[in-house]
Amino acid sequence: MKKKLSLLLGLALMVTTLVACAPKETDDGAGDGKSQSGDLDKVKATISVQVEKDWRDYYEAAAERVKVEYPDSKIEFIETGSFDHLDVLDSTDVTNKDVADLFAIPADRIYGMSKNEALGSLDAKTMAKNLGGFDDYDNNIGGRFKIDDEYLAFPMNVETLVNFVNTKNAKANGIDLGKEIEFTELNNEDLLVPFFDAGLGVSFMNAANIKLLEKDEEGKFYSDMTKDFSELNATQQEVFKALFNYWKAHKEQGTPLFDKDAAWGYIDSSFETGSKTSIRLEGPWSTGNLSKLTGDGEDLDVLPLQQVVVMGNPISQWKGSWGLAINSRIEDDAQKKQLAEAMIQEIVNPEYAVDFFKATGKILDNVKADKYMDSDLTEMDKKVIKTVYDSYEKAPYSPLFTEWGKVSTTWENAVLSWNSINPATVEDAYKELQVSFQTMMDNL
């Protein structure tokens, strides 16, 4: 149990310890193939699980499978968005009843949540062995959830961005989808990307190997963004020129692409069949919504992210992932922990990978593409999954250190400042980014 939680729950733990010391008649339970937290046939616990609305039917089915093995236990649900749930946790603490015992977290939150002592450790290697399909667990996503000697989340999915295409619009706009698509040769509305969002903007930074925040060999932070524009290499300068010219074209045209609130509605309406836009960057979870904009998917296609290039350099987002984690308040409650670990294993059970994708748009880490290709998924879903796998393999891993959270805000505010400052040149625009990142680095 973490220090902070021990202070909050010390009295309760003392009582639990006294009860635990009383004589009991129990079987050993070793080698039952389940988590090592407790005896399979003796678990009688209740846990709460965070679930998004669209995921609920799948999660409830998973809970029913768990309760076949744990008939005396209860699994309750807190229906809320994953980020909304994390906001509640961040603003309160792990003892809040509105914070679930089991919940989803993005990989880039793992270090911050560990620092805040919000997560309990998992018997992840046993869980991975039970489920199967994990190749070299510690050197892939599984190991990214390990801090010191503890596994603080279990892999939920793999994800990265891909290019969704409205084929009818692309044909009307004369875009050849069979070859590399040069960003600088497109009209400004052919591909819509609100790159003030760091999750999208980083795709262009990765194209030029621009490090927004990184650690050197001595563990010290540095950022390429603190360099003068003249110190950037030619490729990096070209990428910033491309982004500046793209922003300037939208500024002069008066589109809302760089309006934080209005951008997304504009992108949706522009991507509809018969409108101006042919390409947008999205994740696989957006397939359903984009189908509605493209004649029920008749005009929808998907391309690897790296097929779009900037001055010949492929754009590429991250090898991203989410994990399933347990609240640190249940870490020392063996029965709750075992029930939570069983629920995690059912949520990501490869036998139900197709149902999981249908419900969440998430692709399991421990399932090969063939599992999806041989299923009853739509041909579009299959193509999206295959394209995600292709794009994912070519992408770098995302940074996980806590300080990366400051990058998103710094980048967004600096890019959006162009709207009011109205820089005349790429050097002027870059200077706003440089000053913002210098301030960020000074405050790390």
Residue extents of the structural domains in the chain: 3-14+33-158+320-367, 162-317+397-442
- pLDDT over 80 at 19, yes or no: no
pLDDT in tens, 208-262: 999 999 999 998 999 999 999 999 999 999 999 999 999 999 999 999 999 999 9
Q: 5-19, 244-258, 329-343, 350-364: which has the minimum mean pLDDT?
A: 5-19
The CATH architecture one would assign to domain 3-14+33-158+320-367 is 3-Layer(aba) Sandwich (3.40)
Helices H / strands E in the chain, number of each: 17, 17
- pLDDT over 50 at 1, yes or no: no
CATH class of the domain comprising 162-317+397-442: alpha beta
Between CA 228 and CA 226 the distance in angstroms is 7
Between CA 162 and CA 189 the distance in angstroms is 18
Inter-residue contact 360 to 58 (CB < 8 Å): yes
Same topology between domain 3-14+33-158+320-367 and domain 162-317+397-442: yes
Token pair in block for residue 272: 């509809």
List of residues 6+ apart from 185 with CB closer than 8 A? none
As a whole number, mean pLDDT of residues 138-158 equals 96
- pLDDT over 90 at 3, yes or no: no
Residue 194: name the closest of 268, 117, 286, 304 by CA.
268
Residue 192: name the closest of 257, 240, 288, 238 by CA.
257
Inter-residue contact 293 to 179 (CB < 8 Å): no
Inter-residue contact 416 to 129 (CB < 8 Å): no
Q: 21-30, 106-115, 352-361: which has the minimum mean pLDDT?
A: 21-30
Between CA 287 and CA 266 the distance in angstroms is 18
Between CA 28 and CA 38 the distance in angstroms is 9
- pLDDT over 70 at 96, yes or no: yes
Residue 131: name the closest of 354, 366, 360, 375 by CA.
366
- pLDDT over 60 at 263, yes or no: yes
Residue 41 confidence class, pLDDT cut points 50, 70, 90? low
Q: Which residues pair with 280 in a beta bridge?
A: 164, 192
Q: Residue 42: what pLDDT?
A: 82
| Rg of the chain on CA atoms, in Å | 24
At 99, is the secondary structure helix, strand, or coil? Answer: coil
Token pair in block for residue 164: 């969704």
Query: What is the reported pTM?
Result: 0.85
Inter-residue contact 408 to 198 (CB < 8 Å): yes
Q: Which residues pair with 187 in a beta bridge?
A: none
Residue 16: name the closest of 29, 26, 6 by CA.
6
The phi-psi region of residue 406 (left if phi > 0; otherwise alpha if psi is between -120 and 50; otherwise beta) is alpha
Mean pLDDT of the chain: 92
Q: How far apart are the first and last CA of the chain?
A: 29
How far from chain centre, in Å, is Cα 158?
8
How far from chain centre, in Å, is Cα 187?
30
